[in-house]
Every structure is written in structure tokens, then in C-alpha cells.
Amino acid sequence: MLSFLTDEWIAALDEAATTDAALRELSADLVLTIEQEVTGGPDGDVRYHVVFHHGQVSVRPGPAPDATLRFSQDYETAAAISLGSGSAQRAFMTGQLRVGGDLRVLLDHGEAMAQLHDAFGAVRARTVAIGLGED
């Protein structure tokens, strides 16, 4: 099992993203960086980012130098969204997920975002969130 937000978890997301042929194809014309900030986790605040660059998709630890979009949420909200038990849309509408940048980018590239979600499915299935009854 992988623990949510650890270096090993981020590396597993990166492997899933870099090896997904459909994601590579869907993002061939895309240049986009999405930063995630998760606050209040068991090991403190964590930032990581997903980079789409002309078909190359990677997930990296730390803040993004030039993020197109930034998402910020607390640990409980992030874990629920990442593990599939919560909705990003609901978290946004209730103020639990804060967004910086232009959300239209996600709508404009919905197929690539859906494929990213699918690519992360195997990682989701082997992830636990420490302190939330998932471990």
C-alpha cells in the first residue's frame, strides 16, 4: 500500500502518468501545470504538481515554478477527492477546495483530465490516508 502524499505516492502517480499512452496522445498539444497544495496533513503541508508538456505528463513533488492552476485544500478534503470518496466539484462549491487560475483550462481539456483520472486509478486503489480511518 501507498500512503497518501508521500514521496512514494507521488512517484507512483508520476509512473502512471508517464506510461499512459492515451494520456500522452490526448495531451499532445497541451502545455499546462497544475499545482496541488494540501494543508494540515500528518507530515505537515505538502505541495506537488502535474505538468503537461506536449504529450509528456509528469508528477513532481514541491511547488510549481509557473503553475497555470493552483488548488489548495486541507488534508481530509484532498484525501477524499484523491481516493474517490469525495467530489472536487462539491468541495469547490462548499469552499473546501480553493482555486487560483482559470478553471476554463480544465473544461477546454476535459478528455485529458478524465484520462489523467483514469491513469491514476491503479494508484488510488493501493493508497491509504493516514489518520482518516483508511489505514
Ordered domains of the chain (ranges, CATH): 2-128 (3.30.1050.10)
Q: Is 106 exposed, middle or buried (0-12, 13-18, 19+ CB in 10 A)?
A: middle
Please say if the pLDDT value at position 135 is more than 50: no
Contact 71, 85 (CB under 8 A): no
All three cell numbers of 65: 515554478
Distance in angstroms (rounded) separating the CA atoms of residues 13 and 8? 9
Report pTM. 0.92
Q: What crossing angle do the helices spanning 7-18 and 110-119 adopt, rounded to 10°?
A: 120
pLDDT, one tens digit per residue, over 9-52 is 999 999 999 999 999 999 999 999 999 999 999 999 999 999 99
pLDDT value of position 133: 54
Provide the 3-class DSSP secondary structure of residue 67. Answer: coil
Estimate the share of the chain in helix, then strand, then coil, as percent rounded to the nearest 5. 40, 30, 30
